[in-house]
Amino acid sequence: MDSANGSDPSASPNRSLPPMTESLRHSDSERHYTSLRGSVFEVLPDDVLRDVAGVVGEVRLLAGHMLYDPEVSVVADGLVRAFISNPTGRQLTVAYVRPGHSLALAHLAGRRFPTAFQAVEDTHLLVIGNDRTLDLQQAYPEFGWAAAQELSLRLDELEGELARLAFDSLRQRLAAHLLALTSGHDDDPHPVRLSQLAAATASSREVVHRNLRTFAAESSIDVGPDGVTVTDRARLRHHANID
């Protein structure tokens, strides 16, 4: 685990791989089609969806890479957090974007919250683009409705985080973020760094470490050199008031 004074090299905003620019092979197009079938774009007619899959951009981000004004994209693999920050650099995570979900749809609706994004783990994005997405919204009303439904999910997550911030203790919020950051990794230990939890909760690593002691004492988590590993999800769900 990173210590209170340790560095966090994965947080560098410059650690990313360049987008692919070569012509897509047929296998790439089919793989993109499969990913888009699990996203908001699945409501499009099949021939249109295949056309979109054949022209999407492909970007791979290393963990820690920042995105401040992305084009409309679908997460094909990995995990991205949406966060807000203040002038001093403190951050608060307001949502997690998982495979099948989209980035930047809210921008197309004319709502520009001061929200940025960061790859929590190595992430693969399919970039559809703002202009093409707007064209699809205008041509296919069912797609516009599907996009509105996904935006409502992001709003629910934002409201949930605001409620936790207003009414829950930091320990409860840490439990919720630990669960979110390790979701889908039950069969594969997935340590979470103190710096990730501090950024998620607008706190500091020292305060986070102090508040984790209760969880460690009851064996809900294991604290090791690589970070915090969840060992009892049911007990953490109880602490986070998650049914």
Spell out the domain ranges in the chain. 9-165, 168-239
Higher pLDDT, 136 or 22: 136
168's enclosing H/E stretch is: none
The model's pLDDT over 176-186, given as tens digits with 9 standing for 90+, comes to: 999 999 887 66
Q: Record the tokens describing residue 21, joined without a space.
A: 């620019």
**Residue 16 confidence (pLDDT):** 44
Distances (CA, A) of 150 to 104, 122, 125, 128: 11, 23, 17, 16
Confidence of residue 9 (pLDDT cuts 50, 70, 90): very low
Average pLDDT over residues 132-160: 92
The per-residue pLDDT for 18 is 44
What's the whole-model pTM score? 0.80
Convert the pLDDT of each residue in 46-56 to its tens digit: 999 999 999 99
CATH (residue range 9-165): 2.60.120.10
Assign 25 a pLDDT band (cuts: 50, 70, 90): low
Q: Tokens 């820690």 appear where? A: 64
The fold for domain 168-239 equals: Arc Repressor Mutant, subunit A (1.10.10)
- Cβ-proximal residues to 114 (8 Å cutoff; 6+ apart), any chain: 84, 85
Q: Does residue 15 surpass a pLDDT of 70?
A: no
Position 208 scores a pLDDT of: 94
Supply the pLDDT for residue 241.
82
User: Is the pLDDT confidence value at 80 over 90?
Assistant: yes
Nearest of 207, 225, 205, 228 to residue 216 by alpha carbon: 228
